[in-house]
Amino acid sequence: MTNITLAEDVLKNRKIKIGVLLLLDFSLIIFSYFLSYIFRFYLEDMSFLEVMTYFKGNFSKIILAAAIYIIALAICKQYNSIWSLAGVSELSKGIIAITTAYLINIIASLVLTNRIPMMVTTLSAIFIMAFCNGLRLGWRILRRAVIFGTAIKNKDFKKVLVIGAGTAGALVVRELDRRLELEKKVVGLIDDDKQKLGTYIDGVRVLGNRHDMKQIVKEKDVEEIIIAIANLEKKILKELINECKDLKVKVKIMPGLNEIIDGKFSVESIRDVDVNDLLGREAVKLDYSGIADYLQEKIVLVTGGGGSIGSELCRQIVRFNPKQLIIFDIYENNAYEIQMELKRNYPELNLVTLIGSVRDKVRLEHVFNKYRPNVVFHAAAHKHVPLMEDSPCEAIKNNVMGTLNVAEVASKYKVERFVLISTDKAVNPTNVMGASKRLCEMIIQAINKESNTDFVAVRFGNVLGSNGSVVPLFKKQIAKGGPVTLTHKEITRFFMTIPEAAQLVLQAGVYAKGGEIFVLDMGEPVKIYDLAENLIKLSGFEPNKDIKIEVTGLRPGEKLYEELLMDEEGLKNTAHEKIFIGKPGTFDLGKLKQSISKLMNISTDDDMGQLRNTLKHIVPTYKESAENKEVLNDISKKEIAVTTVLRE
């Protein structure tokens, strides 16, 4: 333990710290007056004894002047500051305090007889300003030099390169400089602005531009890169990340411009690169007035409101000032968490959180009869493919029967708009979960013909960061040192962020006229193996060397490729560039309910084989993986065609 850290341990007691600082300040003020007397009189050929006589004669007045300085420093909270973090703010407060005390002492000198000479008062103020502020800044400098020097000597500090030598980059440099406990040292900055090359920010040099990054990382032995450019376009961010990922260093990103403007920035805000950064998707453009038209001052119910999509829908819905928001979920922990979050962020929100199952029609009847919702977002569903392959009867009970229950009750109580959250796995399904969601789509299209409620479905692919999705799993596996596991080297998926999906669901609701299946533009499909490699590289490791990637084989019901629409559906444009309408299907509700009743009876008997066979008759596009090899081989071509259509 160094003397510095020992002193810090002693000064952790607030009373001791304040006492020590008061004593030091008082001593420095008295010493400043003593020096001022020497400058004023000793330099005029007075003897030292004569100067001491003058000093002693005015000592009581010097004590009074010192007390005024101490009071001014206390009022400016100079004894509440943390020495080790002392900076410009503390310096400016110290200057204000000392200047104020100086002016008071000048006035006192004019009023009192036998006063302290004016020049002594002025000189002492200059000395006090230098000594007292120097004491605070000096402690920080000394502490930093000792700890930093020891750390560098022992190679404890992680060497950081900052991309961006603007306001954001300067904030990162200063934050890491003052937060020594993080054990990170900025060894340089890079910026594409030629005018900044060779300049310094708080002693850290701008070493080059992004094209010099590889060389700088090697020369400076960089272990971490922080991208610190405020309000950076997604496309450019994606390019930067791609340039960084092969450098074998950890890559992080600082928050957006809003946090910087609000003054909320801290090093804790600097986050890891996520898949959304790799995708480079721009923010969704919304028709706020159109969404407000059907949500503002309306009673909105979200089933599965505690889940990944459901909770994000709730967060987005509250922005449009609903009359009341009702969260309906079977899982109380999730419901409680989103309830607490919304209450904290929107204290005026009329929020109701109800526990219940969509399987329980009686419970749904009570809820709809009591609260009379105007708009329903049906997000409650079992969605995990492998789990539903093992428990197919539960997929029918929850997804199919649950959707039929909510839809019938919504129609009975004259809900204005009903939006079903669907999935791309409903297209040419190869698993029970996908087939059950296709059947849900058929239900709302059938019931729409016989109801005054506008029933629609919104279909999209994988959602980044949702419960059970591949990205959080990969991150956990990387954090544990691997291996990262995936089911097939060629498997691809469409991806979208949770907020983007929720926003587009709300936007699709604007275009609802009844019976439509809205298909969201998911962008380009992502190869999961490439995704795993990129996440490993951006964590500072080398794939299959530092962290292995293991291919485990396709799971039951799993596709190599997902599709967004079936051949017979076709697509029509909407007013939004990322939302398309599939051609509505025609289904007989009576016959569909008979088929569902048969499925429910089979589910009750837990006859999984019979259930799958019956499901194939109801959903003709459903083919199990083993009998679907030709479909799987053909989907790659279809997927390319679908992406082309979406782009056009």
Please give the pLDDT value at position 280: 62
Whole-angstrom Cα distance, residue 105 to residue 481?
66
Name beta bridge partners: 186. 160
Burial of 12 per CB tally in 10 Å (0-12, 13-18, 19+): exposed
Query: 415: which DSSP letter?
Result: -
Please give the pLDDT value at position 56: 82
Whole-angstrom Cα distance, residue 558 to residue 197?
52
Note the helical H segments in 264-348.
Answer: 275-279, 288-295, 308-317, 332-345
User: How many residues are present in the chain?
Assistant: 648
Please give the pLDDT value at position 323: 96
Let me know: does 358 contact 403? Beta carbons within 8 Å: yes
Distance of alpha carbon 496 from the chain centroid: 15
Neighbours of 39 (CB within 10 A): 16
480: its two tokens: 């544990």
Cα–Cα distances (Å) from 429 to 435, 576, 604, in that order, read 5, 27, 23
Whole-angstrom Cα distance, residue 457 to residue 516?
6
Helix (H) or strand (E) segment spanning residue 572: strand 571-573
Contacts of 149 (CB under 8 A, 6+ apart): none
Please give the pLDDT value at position 637: 43
Q: Which of 184, 185, 425, 559 is catalytic?
A: 425
111: its two tokens: 């009023």
Low-confidence ranges of the chain (pLDDT < 50): 1-7, 10-11, 154, 258, 260-263, 566-568, 627-648
Let me know: does 498 contact 462? Beta carbons within 8 Å: no
Name the nearest CA neighbour of 275 among 421, 553, 558, 466.
466
Q: What is the pLDDT of residues 631-643, one digit of tens each?
A: 444 444 444 344 3
For the chain, the straight-line distance linking the first and the last C-alpha, in angstroms and rounded, comes to 67
Please give the pLDDT value at position 535: 84
Question: Which amino acid would we find at residue 596?
Answer: I
Please give the pLDDT value at position 566: 46
479: its two tokens: 């954090």
pTM given for the model: 0.64
Residue 383 annotated to the active site: no
